Structures are given as C-alpha cells and as structure tokens.
Amino acid sequence: MSGPPVARLTHLALPATDIDKTIAWYESFTPLRLLERREEPTGGACWLASPEETDKPFILVVVTYPQYREKPRPVLKPFAHLGIEVPSRKDVDDVAARAEAAGCLAWPARDLPPPIGYVCAAADPDGNLVEFSHNQGVYDAFNAKWGQRP
C-alpha cells in the first residue's frame, strides 16, 4: 500500500442499523457501488464509492456495530447532507420521484437561488440526508480552479 501522494479527504463514515439495507439504498439511489465489505467480531463495515477511474477517490464508509443497531441515529440531518451533483434536472426529478415512491423523500425537487441550483434530498434507511443537485456549480468551480491541467 502506498496511499495518496498528498494529504487528501478520502472518506466519510456513517453508522447504520442494517448494513444490507443501507448498501441496497445507496446502490439504488446514488452512483455509489460496493467497493469492499468485511465482517468483524464487533460488527460489519463496508466501503461505497463511485466506480469510475480516478486518482482522487472518495469513499462512504458504513459501519454497523452493536450500539448502532438499536435505533437509527441520523448524523446528517436536518441540514447536514452528502451532496451528489447530477448532469440534468431530469436526474433530480427522477430521484425525487423514486424517493417519494419509496417513502424517503426529504426535500421535494425545487429551484433555489444561485449558487444552489435545482435540488431534492432523500433520507437513507437511518435518516441521513443525501442531496441531489443540478447546476449547483460545485463540480464546475472545482474544475475551474483546480481541475485537469495540461
């Protein structure tokens, strides 16, 4: 193992009451896919990530230990959230419709003033919020300042 060439934000860890439900939810509603899963004497853990090739991976770590299985303990709520920027308004609408049908829509799709854009949010099985946005500008701002250089 060698690690990153410089210090870098690599992950966010969240507790889960049911790791299987959580994996299924993130794979259904987000572009994240199971990277690795392991069982430990005290519980289980998994890593979820976007599967495209990158030298700057960001991982969602989900852990389920006995103290988290009793009841949901949302960490990302009422405003704290994971943010996923999507390519189109239709993508936001599609997620909002699926989340509403699944009973986990937290914020309906709506336009908010710049730089926020068009957004909705869904709650994962433990109540943590995931925001889906279009035209928010986070991706573009990063690339304009620090993106690929010739």
List pLDDT tens digits, range 62-111: 999 887 777 767 788 888 999 999 999 999 999 999 999 999 999 999 99
Percent of the chain residues past pLDDT 90, beyond the cut: 65
Dist CA 10 CA 92 (whole Å): 25
- Fold match flag (9-66 vs 74-150): yes
Which CATH number describes the domain made up of 9-66?
Answer: 3.10.180.10
pLDDT of residue 105: 98
Q: Which residues contact 3 (CB under 8 A, 6 or more apart)?
A: none
The percent of residues above 70 in pLDDT, for the chain, comes to 97
Distance CA 81, CA 19 (A): 19
Determine the pLDDT at residue 66: 82
Q: Dihedral of the CA atoms 67, 50, 10, 73 (nearest 10)?
A: -20
CATH tag for 74-150 (out of 3.30.1130.10, 1.25.40.10, 3.10.180.10, 3.40.190.10)? 3.10.180.10
If DSSP codes are grouped into helix, strand and coil, which group holds residue 122?
Answer: strand
Domains of the chain, residue spans: 9-66, 74-150
Over residues 50-73, the mean pLDDT reads 86
Q: Which of 21, 46, 16, 19 is nearest to 33 (CA)?
A: 46
Q: How far is CA 121 from the centre of its chain?
A: 11
